[in-house]
Amino acid sequence: MGGRSDYEERKEERRLRYEQMAQKAKEKSQQYMNSNANRILAITLVGHHSERKHRRLIEKAHNDIRNSIKEDSKSKYYEDKAKNIENTQVIYNDDPNAIEKLKDKLEYLEKQRELIKADENHSTWQLQNIGARIREIKRRIQSLERLENIEFGEKEFCGGKIVQNKDINRIQIIFDNIPDEEIRNHLKHNGFHWSRKECAWQRLFNEQTIKVTNRLLKDILNKEREEEEELE
């Protein structure tokens, strides 16, 4: 199954994941607040009898507040991410109709720019703002059109392969066995995420991903060569 249905499924999975992350952060924030309340009570009970313990409790109470605020901000951030996914005005690059939607949006913004220019009361920042949005959409269209003509193909290495999965618009690294921790950390550092559903490490297919993947492949091949030399 590919195309639109796959995209909608991934979109819903992404939304649910952000909602779960928001809920987890919210729960952590509440845990820190509860911990802070307990420490405040302990501070009251300790009083002046142990100055060192008193200071430690105050410091930990302050840390609880800071951590609670941090987790609360994180929760709101993920909630916003989930809401943005539901917002049909947001155009994602892995949408099968992304180019068509971006062109429609570009046409709309260009008409808006002409209306602003015709208005004698328009402000400079309005033109600058809409001009920046138009340039960014043109850049995205050009990038997506270039990607349509790129055939990454399949590249093998000892212990796995790298493939372009066009159905879900991802570059996937598939290992024959579970890679060691060093390689897993290297993949995460370079923006790859493990997909249990696909049984692969993957990243959205774009020009930057191609550069990163080729660099990773080079690193993997160099490591293989070094291991072979050590065995000789």
Cα separation, 76 vs 26, in Å, equals 8
Summarised one tens digit per residue, pLDDT across range 26-52 is: 999 999 988 888 877 776 665 555 677
Q: How many CB atoms lie within 10 A of CB 68?
A: 19
Q: What is the DSSP letter of 166?
A: T
Tell me, what DSSP letter sits at residue 197? T
Domain ranges of the chain: 4-86, 98-148, 154-231
Task: Name 176's Cβ contacts closer than 8 Å, sequence gap at least 6.
Answer: 159, 160
Task: Please state, in angstroms and rounded to a whole number, the distance separating the CA atoms of residues 145 and 179.
Answer: 34
Q: Which residues pair with 155 in a beta bridge?
A: 162
Please enumerate in sequence order all residues whose Cβ is within 8 A of that of 44, keeping only pairs 6 or more positions apart, or say none: none
Q: What's the predicted TM-score (pTM) here? A: 0.57
Q: Which of 77, 75, 74, 69 is nearest to 32 (CA)?
A: 69
How many other CB atoms sit within 10 Å of the CB of residue 9?
13
pLDDT value of residue 166: 84
Q: With H, G, I as helix, E, B as strand and everything else as coil, classify residue 206.
A: coil
Query: Which one, of 167, 161, 168, lies nearest residue 217 by Cα?
Result: 161
Could you read off the pLDDT tens digit of each residue along the chain, which spans 232 residues?
455 567 777 777 888 888 999 999 999 999 998 888 887 777 666 555 567 777 787 888 888 899 999 999 999 999 988 888 776 677 888 788 889 999 999 999 999 999 888 887 778 888 899 999 999 999 999 999 988 888 888 999 888 999 999 888 899 999 999 988 988 999 999 999 999 989 999 999 988 999 999 998 888 888 777 776 666 6
Rounded to the nearest 10 degrees, the angle between the axes of helix 124-148 and helix 98-118 is 160
